[in-house]
Chain A
């Protein structure tokens, strides 16, 4: 089993839709969780950190379920500019090894 797995995608949604991505991790000792977005041919940019039970930032909500070892990202009222690849990143035990999921591609259509 891979350390971090994500919904395979791609997700194609209309503008204004709500879309949710899931990410599961295998290391139960993992402590820190992040969502990054990456546009084509650009670097990953931090979208949200998920440190405790979850947090919200505008249209974006991240949830953490430690018992089931998964993290989710909810995007409400999707915009065209939300089109990107969303990367789930897990840091096991506050070490220096940040483990990336394979990413989920989102296309928001007009």
Chain B
């Protein structure tokens, strides 16, 4: 099973609201990612969690707050967003470097994406 699930599918929020995006995977992956994608552009990396610890933060504004409660779940908490934050937010997971190296570089190291949450900030 290579499924990553995300909820909600669509979200409309005002600039003063607080909301959360959720992501779940059951592939045993220990690396999870948040991406932001605007129309006609490639996904843009926001955060990476490896073994439930934040390993990469691509200088994302603090109005986006990630959380990794356990190895299967990844949340993105949203507060005081701006209209320009409207985008498709994608979650992804992959095997981690340590597991891949232990396997001698064999096996799967690809990212698998969830269907995304289409966010509109009004």
Contacts and interface: CB of A to CB of B under 8 A. Distances in A.
A is bound by B? yes
Interface of A: 32, 34, 41-46, 49, 87, 89, 91, 94-98, 100-103
B97 A94 contact: yes
B110 A34 contact: yes
A45 B88 CA distance: 15
Interface residues of B, number: 28
A24 B111 CA distance: 20
A32 B109 CA distance: 8
B74 to A, nearest CB: 13
A46 B110 contact: yes
Interface of B: 31, 33, 41-45, 48, 50, 55-56, 88, 90, 94, 96-97, 100-101, 108-116, 118
A55 to B, nearest CB: 13
Contact of A94 (B45, B56, B109): B109
Given A49-B110, A94-B101, 10 more contacts: A32-B109, A43-B113, A43-B116, A44-B113, A46-B112, A96-B31, A96-B50, A100-B44, A101-B42, A103-B42
B109 A102 contact: no
| Residue with the greatest number of chain A CB neighbours at <10 A, chosen from B33, B110, B115 | B110
Nearest to B39: A41
Contacts of B90: 43-44
B116 A96 contact: no
A97 B100 contact: no
A95 B110 contact: no
Nearest to A102: B42
27 contacts: A32-B109, A34-B110, A34-B111, A41-B118, A43-B113, A43-B114, A46-B111, A49-B110, A87-B42, A94-B97, A94-B101, A94-B109, A95-B97, A96-B48, A96-B56, A96-B94, A96-B97, A97-B45, A97-B48, A97-B56, A98-B45, A98-B94, A98-B111, A100-B43, A100-B44, A102-B42, A103-B42
